[in-house]
Amino acid sequence: MKIQKFVKDNGNKYKVYVDDEVYRLYDDIIVKYGLTMKSSISKEEFDKVLEENDKLSFYYESIKYISKKMRSTKEIKEYLRNKDISESVINDTINRLKENNFLNDDLYLKAYVTDRLNLSNDGPNKIKKNLIKLGIFENKINDYLSNIDESIYEDRIKSYVDKKIKVNHTNSSIMLKSKLTNDLVNLGYDRSMVISILSSYNINDKDAYEKELVKITNKLSKRYEGKELEFKIKEAMYRKGFKKGDFYEE
């Protein structure tokens, strides 16, 4: 096979003309095989050149993918599998990325936890669940999360609760605490920790009570009156979590 000429292409690639066909090869491959020093090459050797060029292409594509956002090993494997390449090429690419410090699941774990604690309301259980999905070993996650002071989670729960109490206009204290418990557990916080913290809150739901009372009274007064109306209002308010004694005291 006759090597005819080299023309600079984009980035670190060259157009290499071989037997009137154009191949885009990385400069690393050209140097490795000394192609600029040759006027011809055997088909067997050129097949090796093309195979290694493809491998290098997947390696550089992975680096570009990682440069946009830190990735776990599992994410890179899935990214490469979508390109329909062999597992051996995928494993070679993964190993090369790790050797050159582009891929490190220990650093990924630390960065992910820091990111979630700083930029989200996620609790430890949700963080752990997501990291397992990303292919991080559970024992490593447990070890790292166990070193985080519980006071950090407590402060985050209190901050979340304080914000929700400020904007509460419709829920009774009982209903709000129930809703906050479910919300925080879904966010990944330990139920016993949430309940313990909420038990220390004495939520003033007077405004919520008055608004809900007006709303329910306006609705039910269209259908009932007198003692029956009073009973229906009380019944509806109880269902909303407003305890007996909160209203209609005579």
For residue 97, the SS3 value is helix
How many structural domains are present in the chain? Answer: 4
Weakest-pLDDT range from 84-88, 223-227, 235-239: 235-239
Task: Assess whether 89 and 13 both reside in one domain.
Answer: yes
Residue 206 has pLDDT above 80, yes or no: no
Q: Report the C-alpha gap between 236 and 143 in whole angstroms.
A: 49
Are the beta carbons of 189 and 125 closer than 8 angstroms? yes
Contacts with 182 (C-beta within 8 Å, 6 or more apart), sequence order: none
For 111-159, give the DSSP string.
HHHHHHHHHS---HHHHHHHHHHTT--HHHHHHHHHTS-HHHHHHHHHH
Report the CATH number that the domain containing residue 85 is assigned in CATH.
1.10.10.10
The yes-or-no verdict on residue 247 having pLDDT over 60 is no
* 233 or 207, higher pLDDT: 233
Pairing relationship of beta strands 13-18 and 3-8 according to DSSP bridges: antiparallel
| 189 vs 46, residue with greater confidence | 189
| Cβ atoms of residues 117 and 152 within 8 Å | yes
Residues 93 and 122 in one domain: no
In this structure, the answer to whether residues 140 and 60 fall within a common structural domain is no
The CATH number linked to 116 is: 1.10.10
Residue 233 predicted with pLDDT over 60: yes
Q: In what order do the strands lie in the sheet with 13-18?
A: 3-8, 13-18, 21-26
pLDDT at 246 over 70: no
Residues 176 and 191 in one domain: yes
Q: What is the pLDDT of residues 109-128, one digit of tens each?
A: 999 999 999 999 999 999 99
Give the domain range for residue 89. Answer: 3-99
Residues 36 and 84 in one domain: yes
Say if CB 208 and CB 172 are below 8 A apart: yes
**Single residue among 99, 128, 157 that ends a domain in this structure:** 99
Across the chain, what does the average pLDDT equal?
Answer: 88
- Do 195 and 227 sit in the same domain of this protein? no
Q: Both 10 and 93 in a single domain?
A: yes
Same domain, yes or no: 95 and 109: no
Looking at the structure, do residues 184 and 218 belong to the same domain, yes or no? no
Q: Please name the helix (run of DSSP H) or strand (run of DSSP E) that holds residue 26, with its range, or none.
A: strand 21-26
Q: Tokens 């680096």 appear where? A: 63
**Could you give the C-alpha distances from 161 to 90, 193, 212, in angstroms and in order?**
46, 13, 21
User: In terms of Cα–Cα distance, which of 146, 153, 142, 147 is closest to 193?
Assistant: 153
Same domain? 61 vs 86: yes
**The predicted structure's pLDDT at residue 71:** 96
**Do 242 and 163 fall into the same domain?**
no
pLDDT number for residue 75: 96
pLDDT of residue 179: 92
Distance CA(112)–CA(130), nearest Å, equals 10
| Residue 17 shares a structural domain with residue 92 | yes
Q: How far apart are the C-alpha atoms of 15 and 9, rounded to whole Å?
A: 6
